[in-house]
Structure 1
Amino acid sequence: MKRVVVGLSGGVDSSVAAYLLQEQGYEVIGLFMKNWHDDSVTISNECPWLEDSNDALLVAEKLGIPFQTVDLSEEYKEKIVDYMFKEYEQGRTPNPDVLCNREIKFDVFLKIALSLGADYVATGHYCRKGTLEKDGKEIYQLLAGKDGNKDQSYFLCQLSQDQLSKALFPIGELTKPQVREIAAKLDLITAEKKDSQGLCFIGKVRLPEFLQQQLQPKEGIIIEVPEEASIFNQEVPNFSSEEDTFAYESRNRDYSNEIGKTVGKHQGAHYFTKGQRKGLNVGGTKEGLYVIETDVEKNIIYTGQGANHPGLFKKALFIKNNEIHWIREDLALQPNEKKEVMARIRYRQPLQKATLHQFENGMYVVFEEPQSAITEGQFVAWHHDDEVLGSGVIS
């Protein structure tokens, strides 16, 4: 009997994952990860960890599997929270869920599981794992979940072959309604429980207040840039190489105060992210204001009216070499190679046609259609059919 440690989060997905593994004949152990102590920034009744760990315990009792809680809050603070603060401070927008999977669930947690004699770790992610053989070697594939509405493969886009070899995703073949149905039949306490929102395993966090713990508020101005501003109608220079063309297409525009008018004040450019609409507190515009650029050095937020404002769109993005990650290492591009893929720059975004172009100093992802709010620090993931081939940090 192979032994599997399931990350029981106190939600319905991981509860059903544990049950399915039992049915498949695995010896199952439930572990709850405690990743957070500070209740001052969580929105108190939304998914506090105590209630979650209690629900996880009740599920384990119901299924008759051993259960314990592991405290990973120190590792979580160091690998996720401190990293988040550093990124926000630099005006980038990190994705804690992608990192949590790479650094916590499939690293720290995996090591604990292996120390308990486990062969695998399992989670309640809506994705699937495939295997194929190539040159006599087994290769692991990360595949989208069958439920197109819940597919979570994006959050696992930074996993390695080694991590995938030890991972199981028991609910990847099911839809959310099917998962709830199984939980209801088993009379599990989590059957009707709402999905948790917010940072991976912390629960719902008030992000501005969370950031204010480390990043001091400082007042700055909000500038509105009209869509007819000359910066959007500049003639495109002629470039001698593809690389220069892509560098131009992926650049950040050089905004200045003169280009628009001051429409309000904010408490710190580092609390805002491209494409953001809420929290600007500026009224009186015909269409909603969107953040089109933040300048953390000068502490200025540039905004534009409406979701189709030209300041939101770019056709290409760049990834530095050390931030390119291939799940399928066997398909990694060499300098001057290119590959047509489907890509997304955020969770739940429909996949977009794109081409990867690898150069000596990094890779450009060039989209067929301009994309809205390409944001530094976020992850771009690329696919072939329903397989995630790799990902990278947008720079």
Structure 2
Amino acid sequence: MKRVVVGLSGGVDSSVAAYLLKEQGYEVIGLFMKNWHDDSVTISDECPWLEDSNDALLVAEKLGIPFQTVDLSEQYKERIVDYMFNEYKNGRTPNPDVLCNREIKFDVFMKIALSLGADYVATGHYCRKGTLEKDGKEIYQLLAGVDGNKDQSYFLCQLSQEQLAKSLFPIGELTKPQVREIAAQMDLVTAEKKDSQGLCFIGKVRLPEFLQQQLQPKEGIIIEIAADDSIYSLPKPKFELKEDQLEFEAQPLSYTSSMGKIVGKHQGAHYFTIGQRKGLNVGGTKEGLFIIATDVENNIIYTGQGASHPGLFRKVLKIMSHEVHWIREDLRLKTNETMKVMARIRYRQPLQNATLHHTKDGLYVVFDEPQSAITPGQFVSWHLGEELLGSGVIS
């Protein structure tokens, strides 16, 4: 009997994952990760992890599997929270869920599971694992979940072959309604429980308040740039080398305060992100204001009216060499090679046609169509068909 440790989060997905594995004849152990207990940062008045760990315990009892809690709050603070603050401070927008999977669930947690003699670690992610053989070697694939509405492969875009080898995704073949139905038939306490919206395994974190407690507020100005500003119609330079052209096109536009008009004040450019619309508290414009750029050095936010403002759109992004990650190492591009792929720059974004260009300086993703709100610090993932091949941090 193979032993599987399931990350029981106290939600319906991981509960059903544990049930399915038991049905399939595995020896199943439930483990709840406690990733937070720093009360100096008030997250909200609720204590979600207590409720979640109780639900996880009740599910384990119902399924008749051993259960324990592991405290990973120290590693979580070090690897996720500190990293997030640092990124925000430098004007980038991190993705804690992708990081949590890479650093916590499939690294720290997986090592604990393997030390308990586990053959595999299982989670309640909506994605699938495939295997193929190439040159006599087994290669693992990360495939989209069958439920197109819930596919979570994007959140696992930083996993490695070693991590995938030891991973199981029992609910990847199911849709969310099917998962809820199984939980209801089994009379699991989590059957009707709402999906958590908080930071990975911490629960409800109100990000602005959470950040404000760590990053000091600092008043700055909000500037509106007109859609017909001359910066959007500057002639493009001619380039001898494709690389120079890509580098030029991947650069965000540089704005100065003299280009637009002051329309309001804010409490710190580092609290805001490109494409954001809420929280500016500026009224009286014909269309809603969207953030098109943040300048953390000078503490200025640049905005434009409407979702089709030209300042929101770009076709090219760059990933620095050390931040390029291939799940399919065997398909990694060599310098000057290109590959046609589908790509996305955020979770739930429909896949977009794009071409990867590998240069000596890094990897460029060139989209067929301009993309709205390409955000430094976020992850871009690239796919062929149902398979996620790799990802990188947008620079």
TM-score, structure 2 length as denominator?
0.99
Counterparts of 1:98-247 in structure 2, within 5 Å, are: 98-247=98-247
Q: Distance in 2 between matches of 1:239 and 1:10?
A: 55
Q: Is the 8 A contact 1:41 1:206 kept in 2?
A: no
Instruction: Give 2:59's aligned residue.
Output: 59
C-alpha displacement of 1:44: 2.7
Question: Percent identity between the aligned chains?
Answer: 80
Q: Distance in 2 between matches of 1:204 and 1:274?
A: 23
Instruction: Give 1:42's aligned residue.
Output: 43
Instruction: Flag as ranges the 4+ runs of structure 1 deviating above 6 A.
Output: none
Structure 2 counterpart of 1:290, one-letter code? F
Instruction: Give 1:74's aligned residue.
Output: 74
For each residue in 1:142-176, what CA deviation from the matched residue of structure 2 results, as whole angstroms up to 9, or x when unmatched? 00000000000000000000000000000000000
Matched, 1:322 2:322: yes
Instruction: Give 1:281's aligned residue.
Output: 281
Q: Distance in 2 between matches of 1:28 and 1:347?
A: 30
Q: Is the 8 A contact 1:160 1:327 kept in 2?
A: yes
Matched, 1:372 2:390: no
TM-score, structure 1 length as denominator?
0.99
Q: Distance in 1 between matches of 2:212 and 2:353?
A: 38
For each residue in 1:326-359, what CA deviation from the matched residue of structure 2 results, as whole angstroms up to 9, or x when unmatched? 0000000000000000000000000000000000
Q: Distance in 1 between matches of 2:31 and 2:14?
A: 11
SS of the equivalent of 1:240 reads coil
Structure 1 counterpart of 2:356, one-letter code? L
C-alpha displacement of 1:213: 2.3
Number of equivalent positions: 394
C-alpha displacement of 1:43: 2.8
Q: Distance in 2 between matches of 1:213 and 1:72?
A: 22
SS of the equivalent of 1:182 reads helix
For each residue in 1:215-271, what CA deviation from the matched residue of structure 2 results, as whole angstroms up to 9, or x when unmatched? 111000000001011111111111111111111211111100111100000000000
CA RMSD of aligned residues (A): 0.8
Structure 2 counterpart of 1:222, one-letter code? I
Q: Distance in 2 between matches of 1:351 and 1:234?
A: 30
Q: Distance in 1 between matches of 2:42 and 2:243?
A: 44
Instruction: Give 1:85's aligned residue.
Output: 85
Q: Distance in 2 between matches of 1:242 and 1:37?
A: 51
Structure 2 counterpart of 1:151, one-letter code? D
Instruction: Give 1:253's aligned residue.
Output: 253
Structure 2 counterpart of 1:41, one-letter code? T
Q: Distance in 2 between matches of 1:48 and 1:234?
A: 52
